[in-house]
Amino acid sequence: MAPTPQTLTAERILEATEEVLRRHGPAKATVVDVARVLGVSHGSVYRHFRTKAALREAVTKRWLDRTTDTLSGIVTEGDRTPETRVRDWLAALYAAKRHKAAGDPELFATYSVLAGESGDAVHTHLADLLGQLTRIIRAGVEAGDFTAPDPATTARAVFQATARFHDPGYARDWELPGAEEEFEAVLELVVRGLRS
Amino acid sequence: MAPTPQTLTAERILEATEEVLRRHGPAKATVVDVARVLGVSHGSVYRHFRTKAALREAVTKRWLDRTTDTLSGIVTEGDRTPETRVRDWLAALYAAKRHKAAGDPELFATYSVLAGESGDAVHTHLADLLGQLTRIIRAGVEAGDFTAPDPATTARAVFQATARFHDPGYARDWELPGAEEEFEAVLELVVRGLRS
DNA sequence: CAGCTGACAGATATTGAAATCTGTCAGCTG
DNA sequence: CAGCTGACAGATTTCAATATCTGTCAGCTG
């Protein structure tokens, strides 16, 4: 609650870590830097996070959860058709990732590094997103709008088919001219493939 | 090694380069190595290729063209339906890339490096592949099997949607258990999206 | 005593000097 | 004379010495 809390908490460490990552980038950010920002010794940071990898994963998880939370609202918009929700959800995912990549490149690089290291935070993030997409597709099947023998498998296929527009490995292409049109074309193809 | 007292040709240099790339990998392969395999001075290699980058691009182009040639046969199989040809073509593309990645990892790494450097050889390769796919889809539209206002745009969308199964950036996932099933699911989704 | 410090060992990263490589070209060779 | 050689300059890579970092822990502090 206090604007300048004196006790060292996991939350304060995560905020300082984001700051350091933004300033120095993932390759140069050290635990000593984080401790310096907080005005404590680096030993204290290790009281809250067992390793540097755990700290990086925690800060990344926090960052990924922001996207998951943004998208979760679209899943349950009962007044819209499942097709519209699939479109909106994928468009929102693309927009969120693109915005993050452009606006927060240092942290985005960290996320990409962790994704490559197959960290648990990323694995969970992907499972969360797939779960959301599965719910929309299942609703579409129940409404008779979509055909999908196994909604989870189909959701995975939709996710893979649009990977180019949310996988961080393709981030450099997201701002290229024509990217938006290509997204629309893939989205159209995928939605047509879902329809009964 | 076998005595090679013949005249020095671009073709012989490309073969020696492949040999050196396979043995040392893309990071350690030098023009001096190539010259040593051929029993000439490295200055002679520069008579045929202006730069090392040009040499690497030429050897990569040769290698990429083998895939393009393999697939071109499927495009014109008039006795099969367009849908079958799209399925066969994408499956053959996936199989070819996967086979290369598993069987020739050093050269595959070189290809991946060049793809990242956005070399012209890769650009041309992608244009060739897209051209083949466009022809199949256009044939499908003309036969009334597919709906696609602009076959070239749709071909691009199909190519993007299946990127995970032919883009070298994903090579590490191609041998994972379940990869084949995921390919089938994406292929099913895409083909459904093409149908009228 | 709960939380923090700071020195320490082993691991990792940085640095700069030495080695190697790329690309050129004047001259050699057949 | 067409094609090749080998020495060379500048760029890049390697390597080992040095510095910094990670993770631990005995002891300090409030």
CA-nearest residue to A192 within chain B is: B193
Query: Do B105 and B130 reside in the same domain of the chain?
Result: yes
| CA count, 13 A, side-chain hemisphere, B15 | 6
Chains A, B: CB pairs < 8 Å: 65
Query: Do A121 and A36 reside in the same domain of the chain?
Result: no
Query: Do A68 and A43 reside in the same domain of the chain?
Result: no
Q: Which CATH number fits the domain that encloses residue B145?
A: 1.10.357.10
> Where does residue B68 rank: exposed (0-12), middle (13-18), buried (19+ CB within 10 A)?
middle
Strand nucleotide closest to residue A46 (CA to C1'):
D23
Mean pLDDT of A107-113: 85
Query: Do A37 and A106 reside in the same domain of the chain?
Result: no
Please give the Cα distance from B21 to B15 (Å, whole number). 10
Mean pLDDT of B119-143: 96
Query: Do A33 and A82 reside in the same domain of the chain?
Result: no
Mean pLDDT of B123-132: 97
CA dihedral B17, B19, B23, B28 (to 10 degrees): 0
Note which residues in 116-175 of chain A have CB less than 8 A from chain B.
153-154, 156-158, 160-164, 169-170
| For testing contact with chain B, the best of A158, A186, A195 (most B CBs within 10 A) | A186
Q: Which helix (H) or strand (E) holds B181?
A: helix B179-194
Query: Do A113 and A39 reside in the same domain of the chain?
Result: no
Query: Do B121 and B24 reside in the same domain of the chain?
Result: no
Question: Which among A96, A22, A7 has a CA at the least distance from the CA of A59?
Answer: A22
CA dihedral B40, B41, B46, B48 (to 10 degrees): -10
Note whether residue A18 is domain-resident.
Answer: yes
| Number of domains chain A contains | 2
Q: What residues form DSSP beta bridges with B146?
A: B195
Query: Do B97 and B166 reside in the same domain of the chain?
Result: yes
Note whether residue A167 is domain-resident.
Answer: yes
| Whether residue A27 has pLDDT greater than 60 | yes
B79-115: pLDDT as tens digits: 999 999 999 999 999 999 999 999 888 889 888 887 7
| Whether residue B155 has pLDDT greater than 60 | yes
| Whether residue A3 has pLDDT greater than 60 | no
Mean pLDDT of A120-126: 94
Confidence of residue B116 (pLDDT cuts 50, 70, 90): confident
Confidence of residue A48 (pLDDT cuts 50, 70, 90): very high
| Whether residue B4 has pLDDT greater than 50 | no
pLDDT score for B136: 98
Please give the Cα distance from A38 to A45 (Å, whole number). 9
Mean pLDDT of A184-193: 98
Note whether residue B54 is domain-resident.
Answer: no
B40-66: pLDDT as tens digits: 999 999 999 999 999 999 999 999 999
pLDDT score for A162: 98
Domain span at A22: 10-48
Mean pLDDT of A159-163: 98
| Whether residue B1 has pLDDT greater than 60 | no
CA–C1' B41–C28 (A): 14
For chain B, percent of residues with pLDDT exceeding 70? 96
The 3-state DSSP class for residue A175 equals coil
B118 Ramachandran zone, left/alpha/beta (phi>0; psi -120 to 50): left
Q: Given CB atoms, is A73 within the 8 Å cutoff of chain B?
A: no
CA–C1' A137–C27 (A): 76
| Whether residue A195 has pLDDT greater than 90 | yes
| Whether residue B3 has pLDDT greater than 50 | no
pLDDT score for B145: 97
Distance from CA of A193 to the nearest CA of B (A): 4
Note whether residue A72 is domain-resident.
Answer: yes
Query: B137, A189 in Cβ contact below 8 A?
Result: no
Distance from CA of B7 to the nearest CA of A (A): 45
Please give the Cα distance from B165 to A161 (Å, whole number). 10
pLDDT score for B188: 98
Query: Do B118 and B23 reside in the same domain of the chain?
Result: no
> Where does residue B5 rank: exposed (0-12), middle (13-18), buried (19+ CB within 10 A)?
exposed
Question: Which among A126, A112, A120 has a CA at the least distance from the CA of A57?
Answer: A120
Average pLDDT, chain B: 93
pLDDT score for A64: 93
| Whether residue A90 has pLDDT greater than 50 | yes
CA dihedral B103, B106, B110, B111 (to 10 degrees): 0
Q: Which CATH number fits the domain that encloses residue B42?
A: 1.10.10.60
B45 Ramachandran zone, left/alpha/beta (phi>0; psi -120 to 50): alpha
